[in-house]
Structures are given as structure tokens and as C-alpha cells.
């Protein structure tokens, strides 16, 4: 089964990105196919070089885990609005488009939005 998870919230301040990535990790353990699409402030979660306090979750590390078995796409327009460049992304995360999101939506068996 292919699941598309769309996440909109920032990496820190709310826990939607964190919980969306936790669910993604659980689905990947079950050998599901998962695509994560980050939009809005969620694109900041894929920025490389994050430093969080000990014991606090780190979305960069969580996204790296997703990339080992799944796919992480970022809204290019949202990246540009936040001044985030391709060079600043976690290796394996990909700039994407609304057309790619539309295609991923059509191909998915389930779509979840956080």
C-alpha cells in the first residue's frame, strides 16, 4: 500500500511534523511505501545542520530515517518563500512541485494531512 503524508506545520512549536514523521516511521516498518510532502513552514524541518537540546526530537534526523526507505518531497514555492535553498536540505530530500503532489495524490491508496 502506498501512503502519502502531507505536512504543513513548522518543525518546532507544534508537534504535527514530529507526529507525522513518527507515523511515517511506523508505516515504513510495516514495509509500506510512503511519500512525505512538506509544505508551508514544514519545509524547514528538512534543513540540514539542526542543533536541538539533548533529549529533544530533531526533525533532520527523523527525515534522514524516512529517506532510507521512503521519499521526502518539499514544496519548491514554500522553500523560496522561506529562503531555503537546495544546498541547505538534508541529503536525499527533494525540491518538488504542486504537479508532483497532484501526481502523488492520484497514485496513493491513502492520503493523510498533518
Kindly state the helix (H) or strand (E) to which residue 102 belongs, with its residue range.
helix 98-107
Query: How far is 56 from 104, CA to CA, in rounded Å?
Result: 31
Chain segment 29-49, per-residue pLDDT in tens: 998 899 999 999 999 999 999
| Confidence at residue 32, expressed as pLDDT on a 0 to 100 scale | 86
- What pLDDT does residue 31 have? 86
Residue-range domains of the chain with CATH: 2-49+57-113 (3.40.1260.10)
Averaged pLDDT, groups of 10, the chain, 114 residues long: 97 96 96 95 97 94 97 98 98 98 98 98
Long-range contacts of 80-86 (CB under 8 A, 24+ apart): 82/41, 82/43, 82/44, 84/43, 84/44, 84/47
Mean pLDDT for the chain overall: 97
Amino acid at each position: 500500500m502506498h501512503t502519502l503524508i502531507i505536512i504543513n506545520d513548522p518543525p518546532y512549536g507544534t508537534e504535527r511534523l514530529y507526529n507525522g514523521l513518527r507515523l511515517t516511521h511506523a508505516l515504513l516498518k510495516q514495509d509500506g511505501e510512503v511519500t512525505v510532502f512538506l509544505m508551508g513552514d514544514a519545509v524547514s524541518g528538512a534543513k540540514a545542520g539542526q542543533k536541538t537540546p539533548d533529549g529533544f526530537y530533531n526533525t533532520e534526523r527523523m527525515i534522514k530515517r524516512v529517506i532510507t526507505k521512503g521519499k521526502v518531497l518539499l514544496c519548491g514555492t514554500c522553500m523560496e518563500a522561506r529562503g531555503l535553498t537546495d544546498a541547505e536540505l538534508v541529503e536525499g530530500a527533494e525540491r518538488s512541485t504542486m504537479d508532483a503532489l497532484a501526481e502523488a495524490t492520484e497514485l496513493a491508496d491513502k492520503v493523510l494531512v498533518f
